[in-house]
Structure 1
Amino acid sequence: MDPADLPLTDPACTGAVVLLAEDEAEIADILGAYLRRSGLRAVHAADGRQALALHLALKPDLVLLDVHLPQVSGWQVLSELRHRGDTPVIMLTALDQDIDKLMGLRLGADDYVVKPFNPAEVVARVQAVLRRTASQGGRRTQKVLRVGGFQIDPETLEASLEVNGERQVLALTLTEFNLLAHMARAPKRVFSRAELMAACLPESDALERTVDSHISKLRKKLELISLEGVPASVRGVGYRLGITP
Structure 2
Amino acid sequence: MREDVTKTDAILLVEDDAEIGELISRYLATHQIEAAVVADGRAMDATLAARDFDLVILDLNLPGEDGLSICRRLRDGANLPIIIVTAQGEDVDRIIGLEMGADDYIVKPFNPRELLARVRSVLRRSRASAQTKEPAGGRFYQFEGWRVDIMAHQVTAPTGMKIALTGAEFDLLYALCERPNRVLTRDQLIGLTHGPTASPFQRSIDVLISRLRQKLESDPKNPKLIQTVRSEGYLFAPQVLRA
SS in 1 for 2:32: coil
Aligned twin of 2:80? 87
SS in 2 for 1:136: helix
Larger mean CA deviation between 50-59 and 103-112 belongs to 50-59
SS in 2 for 1:133: helix
1:127 to 120, 124, 137: 120
Aligned twin of 2:168? none
Letter matched to residue 104 of structure 1: G
Aligned twin of 2:229? none
Q: 1:36 to 1:154 in 2, by over 3 A?
A: same
Deviation at 1:29, TM superposition (A): 0.7
Residues 137-176 of structure 1 correspond to what in structure 2 (within 5 A)? 137=130
1:77 to 56, 60, 70: 70
Q: Distance in 2 between matches of 1:48 and 1:130?
A: 22
Aligned twin of 1:54? 47
Deviation at 1:53, TM superposition (A): 2.1
SS in 2 for 1:112: strand
Q: Is the 8 A contact 1:67 1:73 kept in 2?
A: yes
Letter matched to residue 28 of structure 2: L
Q: Is the 8 A contact 2:154 2:162 kept in 1?
A: no
Deviation at 1:52, TM superposition (A): 2.1
Aligned twin of 1:16? 9
Q: Distance in 1 between matches of 2:160 and 2:74?
A: 23
Q: 1:131 to 1:153 in 2, by over 3 A?
A: closer
Q: 1:91 to 1:14 in 2, by over 3 A?
A: same
Letter matched to residue 77 of structure 1: I
SS in 2 for 1:104: helix
Deviation at 1:31, TM superposition (A): 0.5
Deviation at 1:188, TM superposition (A): 7.5
What TM-score do you get using the length of structure 2 for normalisation?
Answer: 0.53
Residues 37-52 of structure 1 correspond to what in structure 2 (within 5 A)? 37-52=30-45
Q: Distance in 2 between matches of 1:33 and 1:145?
A: 45
Deviation at 1:141, TM superposition (A): 5.8
- Runs of at least 5 residues in structure 1 that lack an aligned partner in the other structure: 1-12, 156-183, 190-245
Deviations 1:167-187 (A, max 9, x none): xxxxxxxxxxxxxxxxx7599
Q: 1:145 to 1:103 in 2, by over 3 A?
A: farther
RMSD: 3.2
Q: Is the 8 A contact 2:129 2:153 kept in 1?
A: no
Larger mean CA deviation between 52-61 and 95-104 belongs to 95-104
Q: Distance in 2 between matches of 1:92 and 1:24?
A: 13
Aligned twin of 1:66? 59
Q: 1:73 to 1:124 in 2, by over 3 A?
A: same
Q: Is the 8 A contact 1:62 1:89 kept in 2?
A: yes
- Runs of at least 5 residues in structure 2 that lack an aligned partner in the other structure: 1-5, 132-151, 166-213, 221-243
Equivalences, count: 149
Q: Is the 8 A contact 1:21 1:46 kept in 2?
A: yes
Aligned twin of 1:25? 18
Letter matched to residue 40 of structure 1: I
SS in 1 for 2:130: coil
Q: 1:116 to 1:142 in 2, by over 3 A?
A: farther
Aligned twin of 2:110? 117
What TM-score do you get using the length of structure 1 for normalisation?
Answer: 0.52
Q: What is the aligned-residue identity percentage?
A: 37
Deviation at 1:61, TM superposition (A): 0.1
Aligned twin of 2:98? 105
